[in-house]
A = this chain, B = another copy of it.
Amino acid sequence: MSSLPKFVEFHEEGPREGFQIEKQIYPLEQRVKLIEMLAESGLKQVQVGSFVNPRAVPQMADTEQLFAAIKKRPGVRYTALWLNQKGFEKALATPGVDLDGKIMFYTTDVFSIRNNNCSVAENQQRQAEWMKLYAQHNIPVETVYVMTAFGCNYQGVVPLSAVLDQFKFALDLCRGGKLPQLYLADTMGWANPESIKERIAAVRELAPAARIGLHLHDTRGLGPANFYAALEAGVDLFDSSVAGLGGCPFASHAAHTAAGNICTEDMVLMCQEMGVATGIDLDKLISASQFAEQLIGRTLNGKVMHGGNLEKYRKKAA
C-alpha cells in the first residue's frame, strides 16, 4: 500500500469558480444557502466570491452583499479573490472577509496577458508590490500560486524550469517572513499523474520545508487520477469545487462544457475509502452538491452525488 497523508485539507472554490462562469446570476439567498451548507459540511475554508470589475464579471458584483448575508460558522475562513488594488481595497473594506495574502505567478506570457494584462516578468514586479501592500496592512503572505504550472492552451508545454523560476522568485520575495505554501495550479487541465509526481518532487527539492498545494482542473478527465498521484506524493492541500463547478472563462477550451475544478465530494469520497481523514461530513457535502445542481438546473460533473455515498450502502447492507 502507498503511504498516503493521514489528513487532507480542501479549500472550497465552488461559489467563486462555479458562479463566475455561469451566464445567469442566481438569487443571492440561494448562493448564501450553498455557502452555508458547504461550511456546515466541515469545510474549513470557502471562497465566497471575488472583488473584480463588475462589468467584466457581473456574476461577482454582489460579493460584498454575499459577505453581509452569510451566517458565519466559527472556525471557518470565508475568503475572496482580488486581482488588482481596487479589488483588494474593496475586500479590506468589506466586513467579514478573511484576508489570505497570496501572490500569483504566471509561466506563459499569452495567458498572463489575457488573464492579468501584463507579461510574466511584469507580473513578478507587480507581485513584489503586492508584498509591500500586504505588509502595510499586516496581512501575512500565506500562499504562492504558480498558474498553468503543467501546460497552457496558448503556449503548449510549460517547462518545469519555468515553474521553478517563478517559485524561486517568490521564495526570494518571501525571505525573512514565514515560509508560504507553494501551490501548483493546473489552470487548463494539462497535468497527468506522472507530471504531478515529477513537479511535486522538484518543488519539494527547491523548498523542502514548504507545504505544497494543488489547484486542479478536471478539463480532460484526468483530475481524479492527478489527485491520487498527488496523495501518493504526500500532498495534503487541495483547492476543489463542490459538484465540480467551475472552469476558467479565459482558458480557450474546445467547448463551454469543459469541466471545472476537481469535485470536492468525489475527492472526499476517495479519501474516505482509503482511510484518509478530511474532517468533512460527506453526506452533508453531497446535499450541498445536490442543492447546487438543483440551483443551476442541469446535471453537473460531480459523480458521487448521483452514485451515492458508499458508507450508506455499507450501513444498509450491514
User: Which A residues lie at the B interface, using CB under 8 A?
Assistant: 1-2, 4, 151-157, 189-190, 192-195, 197-198, 218-225, 227-229, 253-255, 257-259, 263, 266-267, 269-270, 273-274, 299, 302-308, 310, 313-314, 316-318
Q: A156-B313, A190-B310, A299-B299 are in contact. Are A222 and B270 (CB under 8 A)?
A: yes
The residue in chain B whose Cβ has the minimal distance to the Cβ of A201 is: B1
Q: A1-B197, A273-B195, A310-B190 are in contact. Are A221 and B151 (CB under 8 A)?
A: no
Q: A221-B266, A317-B155 are in contact. Are A307 and B228 (CB under 8 A)?
A: no
Residues from chain B with a CB closer than 8 A to the CB of A318 are: 156
The residue in chain B whose Cβ has the minimal distance to the Cβ of A298 is: B299
Residues from chain B with a CB closer than 8 A to the CB of A152 are: 317
Q: Is the CB of A270 within 8 A of B193?
A: yes
Q: Is the CB of B306 within 8 A of A254?
A: yes
Q: Is the CB of A263 within 8 A of B221?
A: yes
- The complex places the Cα of A227 from the Cα of B221 at a distance, in Å, of 12
What are 19 contact pairs spanning A and B, CB under 8 A?
A2-B194, A151-B313, A152-B317, A154-B317, A156-B318, A189-B307, A219-B303, A220-B266, A220-B303, A221-B266, A221-B267, A221-B269, A221-B302, A221-B307, A224-B225, A253-B306, A254-B308, A257-B299, A259-B303
The smallest beta-carbon distance between A301 and chain B, in angstroms, is 8
| Best-surrounded residue of A225, A267, A274 (most CB of chain B within 10 A) | A225
The smallest beta-carbon distance between A230 and chain B, in angstroms, is 11
- The complex places the Cα of A153 from the Cα of B313 at a distance, in Å, of 6
The residue in chain B whose Cβ has the minimal distance to the Cβ of A227 is: B225
| Best-surrounded residue of A194, A222, A254, A273 (most CB of chain B within 10 A) | A222
Q: Is the CB of B307 within 8 A of A253?
A: yes
Residues from chain B with a CB closer than 8 A to the CB of A228 are: 193, 225, 228-229
Residues from chain B with a CB closer than 8 A to the CB of A219 are: 303, 307
- The complex places the Cα of A182 from the Cα of B190 at a distance, in Å, of 33
Residues from chain B with a CB closer than 8 A to the CB of A299 are: 257, 299
- The complex places the Cα of A318 from the Cα of B198 at a distance, in Å, of 23
Q: Is the CB of A223 within 8 A of B220?
A: no
Partner of A221, one of B190, B195, B304: B304
Q: Is the CB of A218 within 8 A of B317?
A: no
Q: Is the CB of B156 within 8 A of A255?
A: no
- The complex places the Cα of A277 from the Cα of B137 at a distance, in Å, of 54
Residues from chain B with a CB closer than 8 A to the CB of A189 are: 307
- The complex places the Cα of A219 from the Cα of B304 at a distance, in Å, of 7
- The complex places the Cα of A270 from the Cα of B221 at a distance, in Å, of 8
Q: Is the CB of B314 within 8 A of A1?
A: no
Partner of A224, one of B4, B151, B224, B316: B224
Residues from chain B with a CB closer than 8 A to the CB of A263 are: 221
